Amino acid sequence: MDTALKILVVEPDAARAQDIIDALKDGGWGSVFIVAEISALAPKLTEIDPDIVLIDLAHPDRDTLEHIGHVSHAQSRPVAMFVDRSDSDLTQAAITAGLSAYVVDGLQKNRIKPVLETAIARFKMVEQMRLELDAAKQALTDRKTIDRAKGLLMTARGIDEDSAYGLLRKTAMDQGRKVIDVAQALVTAADLLG
């Protein structure tokens, strides 16, 4: 576990904030910053750019959860929230907001380290899935573009599909470009001329 992480803690109660700092330092994390008010979260995030955000709120509401998800950029960093109690609507709002961990029954000092480790691991897993999904979407888009370019070549030159792909590959190699770039240029030119 990376102990050099910058951790931003949102905790309105000074005594509880100190307990959290102590628990994090006991866990090996020394770079901890405290924000007392949720309203100060956005500017502090910009100033510090933490690696993870830990929030302790007794009774958040749906608007607070949405605000936290938005300002904390929960899609780009792990966010763990400790609450005293919750219901199914708030749990769903936490998931929708992109929180990596949503722990009900309050913050307990001995649970901070394992919850943060789990939140970080879960965030990395979700991020990896998101990257793989984006790569799959891009590959599908590229495939469609290449297929369209092959179709244009087949029609214009009266050649079969293999020959059209071979022509795209040869052109790409001759120009030191990728096949998708050549295909995209051909499709764009056809759109302009069509």
CA 38, CA 179: separation in Å to the nearest integer? 49
**61/8 Cα distance (integer angstroms):** 21
Q: Are strands 6-10 and 52-56 parallel, antiparallel or unpaired?
A: parallel
Residue by residue, pLDDT tens for the chain (194 residues) are 566 889 999 888 888 889 888 888 888 888 899 998 888 888 888 898 898 888 887 777 777 777 777 776 666 888 888 888 777 888 888 888 888 888 887 777 778 888 888 888 888 898 899 899 999 999 999 999 999 999 999 999 999 999 999 999 999 999 999 999 999 999 999 999 87
Domain ranges within the chain, ordered by starting residue? 6-107, 132-193
Q: What is the DSSP string of 134-166?
A: HHHHHHHHHHHHHHHHHHHHHHHHT--HHHHHH
The second-level CATH assignment, the architecture, of 6-107 is 3-Layer(aba) Sandwich (3.40)
User: Are the C-beta atoms of residues 82 and 19 closer than 8 Å to each other?
Assistant: no
Give the C-alpha separation, 59 to 83, whole Å: 6
Across the strands, what pairs with 9? 34, 54
Question: Any idea which architecture 132-193 has in CATH?
Answer: Orthogonal Bundle (1.10)
CB–CB of 89/60 below 8 Å?
no
Please tell me if the domain spanning 6-107 has the same topology as the one spanning 132-193. no
pLDDT at 2: 63
Residue-wise pLDDT tens digits, 144-184: 999 999 999 999 999 999 999 999 999 999 999 999 999 99
Q: What pTM was estimated for this model as a whole?
A: 0.68
> Which residues are CB-contacts of 66 (< 8 A; sequence separation ≥ 6)?
93, 96, 97
Contact between 67 and 42 (Cβ < 8 Å): no
Find, among 37, 79, 85, the residue nearest to 59 by Cα: 85
Cα gap 97→109, rounded to integer Å: 25
